[in-house]
Structure 1
Protein backbone atom coordinates (compact mmCIF):
# COMPACT_ATOMS: atom_id res chain seq x y z
CA UNK A 1 0.00 0.00 0.00
CA UNK A 2 1.15 3.57 -0.65
CA UNK A 3 0.16 6.68 1.27
CA UNK A 4 0.55 10.18 -0.15
CA UNK A 5 1.30 12.97 2.30
CA UNK A 6 0.07 16.35 1.10
CA UNK A 7 -0.17 19.59 3.03
CA UNK A 8 -2.17 22.53 1.74
CA UNK A 9 -1.12 26.04 2.68
CA UNK A 10 1.76 27.27 4.77
CA UNK A 11 3.56 25.84 7.76
CA UNK A 12 1.76 25.37 11.03
CA UNK A 13 2.91 24.31 14.50
CA UNK A 14 3.23 20.56 14.78
CA UNK A 15 3.10 19.88 11.04
CA UNK A 16 6.53 18.24 10.88
CA UNK A 17 5.71 16.07 13.90
CA UNK A 18 2.47 14.97 12.27
CA UNK A 19 4.17 14.07 8.99
CA UNK A 20 6.89 12.22 10.89
CA UNK A 21 4.28 10.22 12.84
CA UNK A 22 2.45 9.25 9.65
CA UNK A 23 5.71 8.13 8.07
CA UNK A 24 6.82 5.96 10.98
CA UNK A 25 3.38 4.40 11.52
CA UNK A 26 3.13 3.54 7.82
CA UNK A 27 6.63 2.04 7.99
CA UNK A 28 5.49 -0.24 10.84
CA UNK A 29 2.78 -1.62 8.55
CA UNK A 30 5.18 -2.00 5.63
CA UNK A 31 3.46 0.75 3.65
CA UNK A 32 5.32 3.16 1.39
CA UNK A 33 4.90 6.91 1.93
CA UNK A 34 5.10 9.46 -0.84
CA UNK A 35 5.59 13.19 -0.32
CA UNK A 36 3.59 15.31 -2.74
CA UNK A 37 5.32 18.56 -3.69
CA UNK A 38 3.43 21.82 -4.39
CA UNK A 39 0.24 20.88 -2.54
CA UNK A 40 -2.91 20.12 -4.54
CA UNK A 41 -1.26 21.46 -7.69
CA UNK A 42 1.44 18.82 -7.40
CA UNK A 43 -1.17 16.10 -6.94
CA UNK A 44 -3.33 17.06 -9.90
CA UNK A 45 -0.78 18.04 -12.56
CA UNK A 46 0.51 15.25 -14.77
CA UNK A 47 4.17 14.70 -15.56
CA UNK A 48 5.63 15.90 -12.27
Structure 2
Protein backbone atom coordinates (compact mmCIF):
# COMPACT_ATOMS: atom_id res chain seq x y z
CA UNK A 1 0.00 0.00 0.00
CA UNK A 2 2.93 2.29 0.68
CA UNK A 3 4.41 1.64 -2.75
CA UNK A 4 1.06 2.27 -4.47
CA UNK A 5 0.72 5.53 -2.54
CA UNK A 6 4.17 6.69 -3.64
CA UNK A 7 3.49 5.73 -7.27
CA UNK A 8 0.16 7.60 -7.28
CA UNK A 9 1.79 10.59 -5.62
CA UNK A 10 4.55 10.77 -8.23
CA UNK A 11 2.13 10.17 -11.11
CA UNK A 12 -0.10 12.95 -9.82
CA UNK A 13 2.79 15.40 -9.70
CA UNK A 14 4.09 14.41 -13.13
CA UNK A 15 0.70 14.34 -14.87
CA UNK A 16 -0.74 17.30 -12.99
CA UNK A 17 -3.75 15.49 -11.50
CA UNK A 18 -4.48 16.78 -8.00
CA UNK A 19 -6.83 13.83 -7.39
CA UNK A 20 -3.95 11.37 -7.83
CA UNK A 21 -1.82 13.40 -5.45
CA UNK A 22 -4.57 13.31 -2.82
CA UNK A 23 -5.15 9.57 -3.26
CA UNK A 24 -1.41 8.95 -3.05
CA UNK A 25 -1.09 10.90 0.19
CA UNK A 26 -4.06 9.07 1.73
CA UNK A 27 -2.74 5.62 0.75
CA UNK A 28 0.74 6.52 1.97
CA UNK A 29 -0.57 7.60 5.38
CA UNK A 30 -2.78 4.51 5.74
CA UNK A 31 0.09 2.23 4.73
CA UNK A 32 2.47 3.83 7.20
CA UNK A 33 -0.12 3.62 10.01
CA UNK A 34 -0.71 -0.08 9.31
CA UNK A 35 3.03 -0.73 9.16
CA UNK A 36 3.60 0.97 12.51
CA UNK A 37 0.68 -0.91 14.09
CA UNK A 38 2.01 -4.21 12.75
CA UNK A 39 5.54 -3.56 13.95
CA UNK A 40 4.42 -2.74 17.48
CA UNK A 41 2.85 -6.17 17.80
CA UNK A 42 -0.82 -5.27 17.35
CA UNK A 43 -2.87 -7.54 15.14
CA UNK A 44 -3.90 -5.71 11.97
CA UNK A 45 -6.88 -7.10 10.09
CA UNK A 46 -6.73 -10.36 12.03
CA UNK A 47 -3.07 -10.90 11.10
CA UNK A 48 -0.16 -10.68 13.43
CA UNK A 49 2.07 -8.87 10.90
CA UNK A 50 1.23 -6.48 8.09
CA UNK A 51 3.45 -6.73 5.04
Which category of TM-score, normalised to the shorter sequence, fits these structures?
A: 0.3 to 0.5
Q: Which is helix-richer, 1 or 2?
A: 2
Normalised by the size of structure 2, how large is the TM-score? Answer: 0.38
Superposition TM-score, scaled by structure 1 size = 0.40
Larger Cα-atom Rg: 2
